[in-house]
Amino acid sequence: MKKFIALIIVCGLGYSAFSEEISVGGKGVVKAKPDMVQLRFDVSSLNKDLDVGLADLKAKNAAITSALTSVGVEKSEIKVSNISMNAQYSYGSMKGRTLEGYKQSCAFMINIALDMDRAQSIYKAIVGTKCGEEISFSFYIKDEKPYRNEAKKLAVANARETAALLAEAAGVSLGKVEEISYNASGATPLRRANIMVMAKMEFEPESDGLGMASSDIEDISIQESVVIIWELK
């Protein structure tokens, strides 16, 4: 009778009279300080003449690259992506749509070791060109592997603790591990710092920039999960 009651208690977690096993999920979370910062901004040009617009975009890109190198940014730290061209239209109730021009754009990304003094110096250099449209700061960890490994261990320990507790409550004990399921969660998305500034409008050259220190950046949470099946005895 005692065993029958135990079956009812834990059957929702995978323990049944047929399999005599229990399946429990576990999660592990590790918090760590970011050690990298990414500055991202778009550069664009709008003109009805594609060649003129492209020349303008190239001139802006050259000005930004020059400004970045002037404050010590290495070419290896600069990435350009999302190069695109789209026709831009305005719409009127009577005339239908009118071509305003062709918007040609690209995105700059500067990745550096976390140093907010240096990041703000780069920020000022970008703004000084009046070419960047909007600058966002993101923070991340360059090598997450040791933190993910620790989170995996915690996930397994969490699953084992829960399974042992449930088994004890049901009057049985854990046997050998039958199966471990793990799905890699992939790279942690960049953590936005909620810093997004209009480069052309909100910056004064004589200001102190964003007024943030590296210690102000919040920790990043890295999570891993597993599902483990144990034999019950």
Which residue in the block uniquely carries the two structure tokens 């009118």?
98
Percentages (nearest 5) of helix, strand, coil residues in the chain: 35, 40, 25
Q: What is the pLDDT of residues 22-64, one digit of tens each?
A: 999 999 999 999 999 999 999 999 999 999 999 999 999 999 9
SS3 call for 126: helix
Residue 126: pLDDT over 60? yes
Residue 198's DSSP bridge partners are 134
The residue among 186, 207, 217 whose CA lies nearest residue 113 is 217
Domain boundaries, the chain: 1-35+141-233, 36-140
Residue 168 or residue 208, greater confidence: 168
Percent of the chain with pLDDT strictly greater than 90:
67
> pLDDT digit string (tens) for 195-219?
444 444 344 444 455 667 777 788 9
| Calpha distance 22→14 (Å, rounded) | 5
Instruction: Say if residues 229 and 22 touch (Cβ distance below 8 Å).
Output: yes
Would you identify the CATH topology of the domain 1-35+141-233?
Translation Initiation Factor IF3 (3.30.110)
pLDDT band at 10 (very low <50, low <70, confident <90, very high): very low
Q: Is the pLDDT confidence value at 1 over 90?
A: no
- The CATH class given to the 36-140 domain equals alpha beta
pLDDT for res 209: 55
